[in-house]
Amino acid sequence: MTVRVERDGESGVAVVTLDRERRHNAIDLETAAELASVWQGLRYEDAVRAVVVTGAGRAAFCTGIDRAVEVPQPGSPYSVDDPLTEIGPKANDLWKPVIAAVNGMACGGAFYVLGEAEFLIASETAVFFDPHTTYGMVSAYEAVYMAQRMPFGEVARMSLMGTAERLSARRAHEIGLVSELTAPEELLPAALRAARTLAGFPTEAVQGTVRALWSAKRAALRQALDQAPALITLGNLAPERQAELFAGRRGAPEPRVR
């Protein structure tokens, strides 16, 4: 199993951990399927009233899709198969509050999960970036999700600057992407404190409020995501060219952290 779930029956909180630390918690097809299954299963667990999602270790929350994964694509220019579109809690109809505890790197496909959490708590060592443009890929789903959470200029800069820059936890907090900063060792305790508070309130009211919050932006989000497949098909380089660019990354200068 590459997704670990720990439940505290007394507090009503479940902790969902991406457990591929040696791969910086990158998501392969197995992990994507497990995440979707976990979110779907939690809908039926009445004893779980709030959730924390995090990554194993301190180096990374999640670095998106594992580069070793091969995803066959349909020949139609109007279709894209993306295994990450179903890894978020809202994509799986889970309306219990989800708090993301972000440790280390969060980039690319991590935004599918972060984009569907209620709020983010981050370690002071966390960094956020989107590598797509560097490797000849369109940032479509990722940019759309982050545009729901960040000022336009900030998400545009992060999406366009690729691996040349990383957004620091401090800056993410300043612009409202992150709601609380902690020392690395205090990250999970802080997320659990918030989750236990939410789990202690009447769950019908909490889930109704979650649904109300999301209804405020759901229509615009859906319309924007519907454009993603065509934009990816039009703008992505051929996979072989992407692989060449990725292979040449080792000689690149260190990214600027702002």
User: In which band, very low, low, confident or very high, does the pLDDT at 25 lie, cut at 50, 70 and 90?
Assistant: very high
pLDDT of residue 65: 92
Domains delineated in the chain: 3-69+83-184+220-249 (3.90.226.10)
Q: Give the tens place of pLDDT for each residue, 171-189.
A: 999 999 999 999 999 999 9
pLDDT of residue 155: 97
User: In which band, very low, low, confident or very high, does the pLDDT at 84 lie, cut at 50, 70 and 90?
Assistant: very high
User: Is 90 exceeded by the pLDDT of residue 217?
Assistant: no
User: Is 90 exceeded by the pLDDT of residue 20?
Assistant: yes
pLDDT of residue 168: 98
Q: Give the tens place of pLDDT for each residue, 39-80.
A: 999 999 999 999 999 999 999 999 999 988 888 778 777 777
User: Is 90 exceeded by the pLDDT of residue 125?
Assistant: yes
Residue reference for tokens 């180096």: 59
Which ranges of the chain would DSSP assign to H, the alpha helix? 29-42, 110-114, 141-147, 152-161, 169-174, 187-200, 203-215, 218-226, 228-235, 239-247
Q: What does the block give as tokens for 182?
A: 């902690």
Residues 6 or more apart whose Cβ sits within 8 Å of residue 149 = 114, 115, 155, 176, 177
Q: Give the tens place of pLDDT for each residue, 220-234.
A: 888 888 888 888 888
DSSP letter string over 50-102? EEEEEESSSSEEE-SB-TT------S-TT----TTTT-STGGGT--S-EEEEE
Q: What does the block give as tokens for 218?
A: 């759901």
CA distances, 104 to each of 108, 132, 141 (Å): 14, 19, 22
Task: Indicate the pTM of the whole model.
Answer: 0.90
